[in-house]
A and B are shown apart, each in its own frame.
Chain A
């Protein structure tokens, strides 16, 4: 029997053999765009490197938050081939949960209230962790509920039905949340469980004191940036460990590879899928709290843009691939920060979604994506 010897689909589309002559126009335009972008970046890097690195840091702050959300998108797609558009809104619910925990119930001060003698540092850390954990739990419950109610009945339906349902759930969460008796449609000033402190780097690290200007041409960062960095990296390492070294990880990989066979092997596919949704949502909730602490104004449509950008990040990195989502998110964060600085702030969304179009044109499977292999 003839063996399928086609050139592997992983080869980028640019080098495909029988391309029409007019394809050069499109490809040429993309190449020019890439050269122009590189020129802008390099010239600004040379002109003022400190500002460039400051922008890189701001881009990392955004990128790591997008990474937390993109992980959810990519895992869910890997398992059920569904783009869960409601994921951005789970992120929003995480932010709101932490807001109510802090503003109405003062949950971030519970160590102080139960043990009055406790040092403030420990109290703040424990209190904040409690708030974050609560948000993660609420998001997990929400996501599992959504999965059971909205997605599970459509598992054998055409994929477009599940996609439209996901969009419907997304709108439902946003506008139900906007009702007065739920979250209200206001832009709510967020109350953070801990205060943000900022530092600048110049001959060592010094704190930025409110009311005093920090010196020019220095790079500044804040404690929330470090927390986002640490959280995102830890989550990524944890997920790698989970997927590679644990039984449930093997079950997840098996289910994503071939669901019926996994069932035959004794894996409870329903539970694995629910678990995937749960894990993704927990980290989206974490991302929601951290985003709200960094950008302290929340509203029910908070999750739309970061959710969409995280989705683009997941596609960019290769949807279905965990390291891909992480790398894609970092790239998206950088693109956004550098666009805001060197082109203009309103252009950042345009650039983010242009990246999506370019990825789909040039390499639809993404950076780390594997083309759908042939199953023997």
Chain B
């Protein structure tokens, strides 16, 4: 008889807990996977902040489908293994159906495999490699979307700008041989540049942990290109442009949205250009309203409102697209939301967004010029 008492007590406790569970309020869980540590943490923080701002705004308006939205933020470190772990955790443990993430293509690609197989919708704010939404057979992954233009478009924009605006005929490419993002932009730049009549006079590889680029820069100096395409992240750009200035290289450096960071050394990368998703001086009301809302919520160490960078903007857009699609679908059902997303037409901060057959948005790009210690809006290139 004595042995049964604890057993009965435990069973009662469990039953009570189960009953208690069922009475918990229903929420809509949205996972935000961002690289809060690793090589590009400023990207991660911006992404998280943009996504959380969008979620807060929706919650203030009553949530989506009359449910409160609960964000679950995980650190995927812009690296495949931590990203896979984070994705598995939010899908299997937290039972999330919607993921906003990741920033880096090399992390988004493995996440997309897992999410697609689990019928979880993933919208990447900033991964530009085409294979995030398209598998190796060329079929679109049904549950995966992105909010930004893709590498082919960025490389194309860069080459078009170099030929038309910089009047460049000879280009030199520098690429990190282990980074899918860099390789993607580089290949597309090369294709468009040669198509428009230019020649690539040199192509040099390096690795992501390199610090000394003197050999490559010596080759660049000898080759005298009109433009050097360096579509890598800001940490490498800082090193390369500083050493280039020390070697007396004046050819302008060009890159992609990986340059966009508060940690970019504007002195070293002076006279550099990069393609980006948005610029704060765009007068459209969506942009200005977003700037004000972001600045009200996020202040820097001295109390000044922070101006959102492209990553925060795209995360904001991605989250809004997702929540609007859920609202349009009318149910927390990923198949219905997927269909709603495919047909959506949304005025995002980074431009009017509709999705094409590969679940990529159709929208334009901005070219930023780094001059005199500032990042200035140069021109807008349409899709």
Interface residues of A (CB under 8 A from B): 51, 54-55, 58, 61-62, 178, 180, 184-189, 196, 198, 200, 208, 210-214, 216-217, 220, 222, 295-297, 301, 305, 336-337, 340-341, 344-346, 349
Contact = CB atoms under 8 A, between A and B. Distances in A.
B205 A220 contact: no
A371 to B, nearest CB: 35
B177 A346 contact: yes
Contacts of B209: 301, 305
Contacts of A55: 214-215, 218
B239 A297 contact: yes
A200 B177 CA distance: 31
A212 B248 contact: yes
Nearest to A54: B218
A54 B204 CA distance: 18
A197 to B, nearest CB: 9
A196 B213 contact: no
A295 B268 CA distance: 12
13 contacts: A51-B222, A54-B218, A58-B214, A58-B218, A184-B37, A186-B41, A208-B246, A211-B250, A217-B222, A295-B212, A297-B238, A340-B214, A345-B210
Contacts of B219: 341
Interface string B42-58: 10000000000000000
B119 interface: no
B248 A213 contact: yes
Contacts of B205: 344-346
A189 B265 contact: yes
Contacts of B239: 295-297
A188 to B, nearest CB: 8
B354 interface: no
Contacts of A297: 211, 235, 238-239
Contact of A184 (B41, B222, B224): B41
A62 B211 CA distance: 11
A346 B143 CA distance: 37
A345 B204 contact: yes
Contact of A345 (B41, B213, B222, B243): B213
A345 B213 CA distance: 8
Nearest to B264: A189
A345 B222 CA distance: 17
Given A180-B37, A216-B224, A198 B206 contact: no
B141 interface: no
Contact of B215 (A187, A212, A337): A337
B246 A187 contact: no
B221 interface: yes
Interface string B237-275: 011001101111110000000000001010000110000
A216 B212 contact: no
B177 A341 contact: no
B216 interface: yes
Interface in B179-221: 204-207, 209-216, 218-219, 221
B39 interface: yes
Nearest to A295: B211
Nearest to A198: B246
Interface of B: 37-39, 41-42, 177, 204-207, 209-216, 218-219, 221-222, 224, 235, 238-239, 242-243, 245-250, 263, 265, 270-271
A317 B245 CA distance: 35
Given A211-B250, A216-B221, A345-B206, A340 B238 contact: no
A188 B263 CA distance: 8
A185 B38 contact: yes
Contacts of B37: 178, 180, 184-186
A342 to B, nearest CB: 8
Contacts of B212: 58, 62, 295, 336-337, 340
Nearest to B248: A214
A214 B38 CA distance: 37
Contact of A296 (B39, B41, B204, B242): B242
A198 B248 contact: yes
A187 B248 contact: no
A-B CB proximity, top 10 nearest: A214-B248, A340-B215, A187-B235, A295-B211, A341-B215, A58-B214, A208-B248, A198-B246, A213-B250, A185-B37
Nearest to B243: A295
A208 to B, nearest CB: 4
Nearest to A306: B211
Most chain A CB within a 10 A radius of its CB, from B206, B212, B242: B212
Contacts of A344: 204-205
Contact of A220 (B38, B238, B247): B247
A196 B246 contact: yes
Nearest to B206: A345
Contacts of B243: 295
Given A189-B265, A295-B212, A51 B218 contact: yes
Contacts of A212: 248, 250
B37 to A, nearest CB: 4
Contacts of B271: 211
A346 to B, nearest CB: 5
Contacts of A216: 221-222, 224
Given A178-B37, A186-B41, A295-B211, 16 more contacts: A55-B214, A186-B42, A198-B246, A198-B247, A198-B248, A211-B250, A212-B248, A213-B250, A214-B247, A297-B235, A297-B239, A336-B212, A337-B212, A345-B204, A345-B213, A346-B177
A39 to B, nearest CB: 19
A102 to B, nearest CB: 15
Nearest to A197: B246
B238 A296 contact: yes
A51 B215 CA distance: 9
B322 to A, nearest CB: 28
A205 to B, nearest CB: 13
B39 to A, nearest CB: 6
Nearest to B263: A189
A345 B207 CA distance: 8
Nearest to A215: B248
A345 B249 contact: no
A345 B246 contact: no
Given A296-B239, A297-B239, A345 B221 contact: no
A198 B242 CA distance: 11
Contacts of B242: 196, 296
Contacts of B177: 346
Contacts of B270: 210-211
A353 B205 CA distance: 20
Contacts of A178: 37
A346 B216 CA distance: 11
Contacts of A295: 211-212, 239, 243
